[in-house]
Amino acid sequence: MCLAVPGRVVRVSVVDGTPMAEVDFGGVRKDVCLQYVPDAAPGEYLIVHVGFAIQRLDEESARRTLDEFTRLGLLEEEFGEVP
C-alpha cells in the first residue's frame, strides 16, 4: 500500500484557499497539496502520497538511523557478533 516518496519543497503558494507547493523529486517536479503540513518551507523534505504531503522528513532522525546502521556494522566487524 501507499507508495509515498520523499521530495523537496521548491516553492509554496495558496490555490483556492489551500496551501500548495511545487515539490522536486530528484528533478521531477509535481504540485503537491500542503494542507496537512501547512508550515512546510522551501528546502524541507516531505513524504508525498497521491499528491499530498502526509509528513515532513526529520533529517536528524534519518542521520541517527544511518549512524546506528553503521555502528552496528562496525561492532559486528570488531566482535563478530552484535549485542
Determine the Cα–Cα distance for residues 54 and 56; give it in Å rounded to an integer.
7
Total number of residues that touch other proteins (CB under 8 A)? 45
Written as nine digits, the cell of 36 is: 496537512
CA-based Rg of the chain, rounded to a whole angstrom? Answer: 17
Given 41, 43, 61, 78, the residue binding other proteins (CB under 8 A): 61
In the chain, the amino acid numbered 75 is L
x-or-dash pattern for other proteins, window 7-46, by CB under 8 A? ---------xxx---x--xxxxxx--x-xxxx------x-
The alpha helices in the chain, defined as continuous H runs, are 59-79
Given 12, 40, 52, 78, the residue binding other proteins (CB under 8 A): 52
How many CA atoms lie within 13 Å of 29's alpha carbon, on the beta-carbon side? 7
Residues engaged in binding other proteins (CB under 8 A) = 1-6, 16-18, 22, 25-30, 33, 35-38, 45, 47, 49-52, 54-55, 57-59, 61-66, 69-70, 72-73, 76, 81-82
